[in-house]
Amino acid sequence: MILRQVELLPYALPFRRPVRGETTRQGWLVALHDHQGRRGLGDAACWPGFGAGHAATAARLATLLPELSHASFADLAAVEAWAQLEAATTPEVACAVEVALLDLFAQRQGRSLAQLLAAHVDPALTPRDSVRLQVLVHDADQAAAACEAGVTCFKLKVSAADLDLPRARAIRAAIGPEATLRLDANGAWSTPAEALAELERFAELAPEWVEQPIPAGDLVAFAELRRQSPLPLALDEGLRASADLERALELAAADALVLKPTYLGGPLVALRLARRAHAAGVRVIATHALDSVVGRAAALALSACLPADEACGLAPALAADLGQLPAPLGGRQPLPTSPGQELGEPSLLVPAACGKKESP
């Protein structure tokens, strides 16, 4: 496939509720046009603490796009090799370009993104046609409403039990004992000793696991904490590159891994890592990175190809978006069935709020 034109489309979209003080999600869509008039889209969505970050991503996009404007990719192996190299420095860019190229290949082959991913990684793999949703809730009313809509897996952000245990108890009461509850500390407990004390206090809620109890950066300490923890532990921020995942498996550091294709360098490498983790007996889920519908569609395709039917973090975090996925049904997110990403009306893909198209 030969690329004919490359565009960078900056976007700024409102969050449903502020995330760590931010009210707007900013990122870039990378739009790649092939010589037959198709357009593939990928999302480069940066977030502090993950990946290469905003400044490095912006700088890399500016130098990269002219290079790509007449590039050719013979097949998916070439796409994967390119993304793997790029992921070593700017995983957000690797992911955006890989997803845009996969979108183009999927359209050419008349397959969905998930079908294309599956066929490339393992010809015997068939993607699921829907993925169980994990939904972030903040209070009991929200949890009860989600329950009513058929959601069966809930995630709650926690910091200290003093503050959050009453709220968490109310949520557990609203969703009932059978529903899955996951807690996410986002590294809030600064030492393993503090984490252990908090984990013991939250144990009464019977969470399926607790995500990132201690800050990222010390997998040995994480592994030690896991050995002492009364609850299963999941790594999220601690997986900043594929090498972290290899090390986590080596150390038996976690019961579960949260994979964000945006920060690992794309859905292809994320799927390979997920399969390796599953073979080692570690549970794996995928989530988007609070990115636009383009990033969510890629995370959804990855989720549908994961080795086990786990609840994944695919519910939207944005109040307005650039397009839409099929509506959730009974706590599951259906996959698009048409070729490529199928993101709704193309006119919605570049809202006026995103500003002018920029030439790199």
Residue (7 or 236) nearer to Mg ion, CB:
236
Report the residue closest to Mg ion, judged by CB: 236
The CB-of-344 to Mg ion minimum distance in angstroms stands at 27
Residue (198 or 236) nearer to Mg ion, CB:
236
Interface with Mg ion in residues 88-117 (CB under 5 A): none
The CB-of-185 to Mg ion minimum distance in angstroms stands at 8
Neighbours of 18 (CB within 10 A): 10
Residue (236 or 342) nearer to Mg ion, CB:
236
Calculate the CA 110 to chain-centre distance: 25
What is the crossing angle of helices 91-109 and 267-279, to 10°?
100
Neighbours of 75 (CB within 10 A): 10
The CB-of-237 to Mg ion minimum distance in angstroms stands at 7
Residue (19 or 160) nearer to Mg ion, CB:
19
Interface with Mg ion in residues 159-198 (CB under 5 A): 184
Interface with Mg ion in residues 41-60 (CB under 5 A): none
Interface with Mg ion in residues 201-230 (CB under 5 A): 211
Residue (58 or 210) nearer to Mg ion, CB:
210
The CB-of-188 to Mg ion minimum distance in angstroms stands at 11
DSSP 66-94: HHHTT-B--SHHHHHHHHHHHHTT-HHHH
The C-alpha atoms of residue 5 and residue 310 are separated, in whole angstroms, by 38
The CB-of-108 to Mg ion minimum distance in angstroms stands at 35
The CB-of-234 to Mg ion minimum distance in angstroms stands at 8
DSSP structure class, residue 306: S
- The set of residues, in sequence order, having a beta carbon less than 8 Å from that of 193 and lying 6+ positions away, is none
Q: Does 236 bind Mg ion (CB under 5 A)?
A: yes
Query: Is the Cβ–Cβ distance between 315 and 15 less than 8 Å?
Result: no
Exposed/middle/buried for 19, CB within 10 Å: 0-12, 13-18, 19+? middle
In the complex, the residues that contact Mg ion under the rule CB under 5 A are: 184, 211, 236
